[in-house]
């Protein structure tokens, strides 16, 4: 297995920059998810790593070696697509063994490796079946079998679960992660689904409009979003973002929100009087009679164990997650409070975080 390193990677189609200076490293054996909305450049980035697309600029290293100009076939990478590109006229055994046959590996060794892949994927009983009659999950297992049978240095996967129904997808998320843990293969996985990324990744690279906005663990992406885009993209519902005008002085412990001073953790950066955005996750909004913000309950969305309460405030609508056992009345006037150590602050103009929640070992829970 091998480390994948992407350095200042660029791809333009005519005048359109689909990937803008992407920089990230997937350590040997790591599972990295490229996550972002449709059209943000995930697939293009993956295809460049695979050698299916030539970068306009930048470097791709595989195990330290510069492979930027190497053809796909010379990269020792396995690609798994959303659409299971299986050969309908071949049975499961032959589909899985196909890449080995192309490499000229003999029948006995081929059979041994196909059996091993099938055992890992728990599809040994399907080996003689036609792939055309298989259910979606099993078809995807066969596609995975074809990828793992070659024992490549890295796996690249482009929305491999996108075509499955919800139940099958949830099952396959667990299986894919278990497969990764077992094989220890360096993996880059493209998805637009944050739940998939959160559940599977060691590291998530969030992309937006061709740029990588943040590369971090799922927990850091959630707790310490590096930009307004990440704060808004991750979480369901996403982080509440309240615009305000204010100053952060070095070492300051409060910011002014309307008529109130809001306590924050010790300032990390000084900031002149400017347009800022306060970020707070719904689960960190507390109901308190003497809270720093007052508002009116607009609606309540019941989710079983919790509920999402939407409150209109002078700073805009705010969502709070509360235990489902508490009852709220629409139209009720209510006070809201935020736990200082959970607040994020962003610069409105650059969109970048100037203070991130739970930073520097701030209190959790
Ligand atoms: P999706 O999940 O919808 O596939 P994505 O994040 O994978 O989105 P890409 O497929 O990488 O996005 O595409 C990024 C942008 O580049 C899109 O605007 C797309 O239209 C454009 N693009 C991709 N391939 C080409 C091409 N061959 N020619 C011109 N534009 C392209």
User: What does the pLDDT read at residue 365?
Assistant: 29
Is 60 exceeded by the pLDDT of residue 216?
Answer: yes
Closest CA to ligand 1's atom 27? 13
Q: Decide the pairing of beta strands 31-35 and 186-191.
A: parallel
Atom of ligand 1 nearest to the CA of 36: 6
270: nearest Cα among 292, 283, 293, 252: 252
Residue 290, in any domain of the structure: yes
95-136 confidence digits (pLDDT tens): 999 989 988 999 999 999 999 889 888 889 999 999 888 888
Atom of ligand 1 nearest to the CA of 41: 11
More confident residue, 72 or 49: 49
Give the predicted TM-score (pTM) of the model: 0.87
**Are 127 and 178 a contacting pair, CB within 8 Å?**
no
Range of the domain at 243: 236-355
Tally the domains of the chain: 2
How far, in Å, is the centroid of ligand 1 from the Cα of 322? 39
Atom of ligand 1 nearest to the CA of 13: 29
Residue 304, in any domain of the structure: yes
225-276 confidence digits (pLDDT tens): 999 999 999 999 999 998 877 666 555 566 666 666 666 655 555 555 678 8
User: What does the pLDDT read at residue 253?
Assistant: 61
User: How many helices (H) does the chain have, and how many strands (E)?
Assistant: 8, 21
d(CA 255, CA 210): 33
Closest CA to ligand 1's atom 1? 38
153 and 240 belong to one structural domain = no
311 and 168 belong to one structural domain = no
259 and 212 belong to one structural domain = no
85 and 219 belong to one structural domain = yes
How far, in Å, is the centroid of ligand 1 from the Cα of 95? 29
Domain containing residue 351: CATH number: 2.40.50.140
More confident residue, 164 or 326: 326
84 and 184 belong to one structural domain = yes
Give the end of a domain, one of 223, 248, 279.
223
Lookup result for tokens 């032959």: 94
8-58 confidence digits (pLDDT tens): 999 999 999 999 999 999 999 999 999 999 999 999 999 999 999 999 999
Is 60 exceeded by the pLDDT of residue 303?
Answer: yes
**Are 182 and 120 a contacting pair, CB within 8 Å?**
yes
d(CA 211, CA 305): 37
User: What does the pLDDT read at residue 362?
Assistant: 39
303 and 344 belong to one structural domain = yes
**Contacts of the segment 302-305: beta carbons below 8 A, 24+ positions apart:** none
Binding-site residues, ligand 1, Cβ < 6 A: 13, 18, 36, 38-44, 192
24: nearest Cα among 213, 274, 265: 213
Lookup result for tokens 């399907």: 126
Q: Which residues in 92-107 are b (16+ Cβ under 10 Å) and which e?
A: bbbbbbbbbeeeebee
152-182 confidence digits (pLDDT tens): 888 899 988 877 778 878 888 888 888 888 8
Read off the pLDDT band of 1 (50, 70, 90): low
How far, in Å, is the centroid of ligand 1 from the Cα of 43? 7
Residue 365, in any domain of the structure: no
| Three-class DSSP category at 118 | helix
Using CB atoms within 10 A of its CB, is residue 229 exposed (0-12), middle (13-18) or buried (19+)? buried
Atom of ligand 1 nearest to the CA of 190: 7
Average pLDDT value over all residues in the chain: 87
Please name the residues in contact with 287: beta carbons below 8 A apart, sequence gap of 6 or more. 320, 322, 326, 334, 335, 336, 337
How far, in Å, is the centroid of ligand 1 from the Cα of 234? 21
255 and 170 belong to one structural domain = no
| Three-class DSSP category at 24 | strand
Residue 361, in any domain of the structure: no
Is 80 exceeded by the pLDDT of residue 332?
Answer: yes
| Three-class DSSP category at 207 | strand
**Are 271 and 262 a contacting pair, CB within 8 Å?**
no
160 and 27 belong to one structural domain = yes
Domain containing residue 206: CATH number: 3.40.50.300
How far, in Å, is the centroid of ligand 1 from the Cα of 154? 23
Closest CA to ligand 1's atom 26? 13
User: What does the pLDDT read at residue 88?
Assistant: 85
Closest CA to ligand 1's atom 17? 39
Closest CA to ligand 1's atom 28? 13
320: nearest Cα among 365, 289, 285: 285
- Give just the sign of the alpha carbon dihedral 163, 167, 169, 172: negative
Residue 30, in any domain of the structure: yes
170 and 248 belong to one structural domain = no
133 and 259 belong to one structural domain = no
Give the end of a domain, one of 178, 196, 223.
223
Is 60 exceeded by the pLDDT of residue 187?
Answer: yes
Largest CA distance in the chain: 78
How far, in Å, is the centroid of ligand 1 from the Cα of 38? 8
d(CA 95, CA 105): 15
Give the DSSP letter of residue 130.
Answer: B
Residue 110, in any domain of the structure: yes
User: What does the pLDDT read at residue 252?
Assistant: 58
Which one of 6, 11, 15, 18 would you pick to mutate in the ligand 1 pocket, going by the greatest count of ligand atoms within 8 A of its CB?
18
How far, in Å, is the centroid of ligand 1 from the Cα of 40? 7
Residue 349, in any domain of the structure: yes
132 and 199 belong to one structural domain = yes
How far, in Å, is the centroid of ligand 1 from the Cα of 44? 6
Chain centroid to CA 288: how far? 34
87 and 197 belong to one structural domain = yes
Residue 362, in any domain of the structure: no
Lowest mean pLDDT among 251-255, 291-295, 317-321: 251-255
Give the end of a domain, one of 223, 257, 276.
223
């Amino acid at each position: 297995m091998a480390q994948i390193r992407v350095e200042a990677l660029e791809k333009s189609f005519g005048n359109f920059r689909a990937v803008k200076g992407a920089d990230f490293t997937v350590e040997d054996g790591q599972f990295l998810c490229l996550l972002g909305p449709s059209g943000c450049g995930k697939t293009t980035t993956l295809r460049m790593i695979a050698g299916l697309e030539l970068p306009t600029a930048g470097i791709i290293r595989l195990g330290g070696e510069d492979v930027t100009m190497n053809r796909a076939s010379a990269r020792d990478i396995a690609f798994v697509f959303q659409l299971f590109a299986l050969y309908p006229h071949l049975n499961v055994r032959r589909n899985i063994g196909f890449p080995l046959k192309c490499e000229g590996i003999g029948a006995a060794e081929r059979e041994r490796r196909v059996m091993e892949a099938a055992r890992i994927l728990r599809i040994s009983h399907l080996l003689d079946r036609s792939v055309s009659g298989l259910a979606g999950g099993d078809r995807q297992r066969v596609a995975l079998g074809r990828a793992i049978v070659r024992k490549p240095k890295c796996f690249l996967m482009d929305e491999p679960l996108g075509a499955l129904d919800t139940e099958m997808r949830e099952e396959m998320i667990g299986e894919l992660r278990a497969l990764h843990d077992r094989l220890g293969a360096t993996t880059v996985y493209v998805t637009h689904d944050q739940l998939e990324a959160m559940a599977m990744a060691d590291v998530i690279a969030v992309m937006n409009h061709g740029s990588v906005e943040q590369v971090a663990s799922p927990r850091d992406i959630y707790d310490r979003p590096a930009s307004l885009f990440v704060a808004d993209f991750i979480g369901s519902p996403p982080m509440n973002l309240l615009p305000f005008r204010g100053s952060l002085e070095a070492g300051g412990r409060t910011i002014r929100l309307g008529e109130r001073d809001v306590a924050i953790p010790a300032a990390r950066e000084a900031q002149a009087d400017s347009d800022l955005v306060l970020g707070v996750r719904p689960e960190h909004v507390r109901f308190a009679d003497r809270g720093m913000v007052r508002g009116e309950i607009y609606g309540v969305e019941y989710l079983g164990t919790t509920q999402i309460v939407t409150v209109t405030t002078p700073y805009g609508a705010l969502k709070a997650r509360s235990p489902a056992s508490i009852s709220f009345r629409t139209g009720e006037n209510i006070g809201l409070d935020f736990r200082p150590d959970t607040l994020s602050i962003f610069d409105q103009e650059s969109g970048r975080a100037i203070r991130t929640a739970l930073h520097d070992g701030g209190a959790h829970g």
